[in-house]
Amino acid sequence: MKTAKITLILAAMAVGQFAVAQDRAQEKEKIYTPEQIEMLKAQKAAVKENREEFKSSLTDEQLAIMQNKELSKEERREALSASFSDAQKAMMEANRSEIKALRDAFRATITDEQKQVMKERRKKIKKRLVNMKDRKEQLKERKENIKERRKKKKG
């Protein structure tokens, strides 16, 4: 019985997430012009291409640093950046400036109305994240309560 309830809840959450994801995709297409959508796609493609190009330039030692789980995330990042060659540093800077130029070109095409819609969207996302966090805490509390009840019944 309990397994069925949990399964039903998880299925409902999955369907809800799928519906929200579809709505977000439709919202994006509604507020942007076709040219702006193409600019965003070009920006994503450039980021992906630059990332792949940079990854292919990494040495075995640098890859070992990235995969070293003994170091914290921050320590890995610092060790990796300290090991970059001048060519890799130049490549990173060129990639940053290319992406910045693409972003600036995109921002120049955005109208005030689009800016307002984007601001509202960010607010909704922030609110949704807060709600999800609250729900997660409530779920934890319920689980603890159930555990306590079971202990009382057994004891």
What's the mean pLDDT when you consider all of the chain?
Answer: 87
Tokens representing 11 are 């299925």
pTM for this prediction: 0.59
Query: Which tens digits make up the pLDDT trace of 46-96?
Result: 999 999 999 999 999 999 998 999 999 999 999 999 999 999 999 999 999
Among candidate residues 60, 39, 57, 67, the one with its CA nearest the CA of residue 94: 57
| Cα gap 155→152, rounded to integer Å | 5
* Residue 117 burial (CB count, 10 A): 16
| Cα gap 151→155, rounded to integer Å | 6
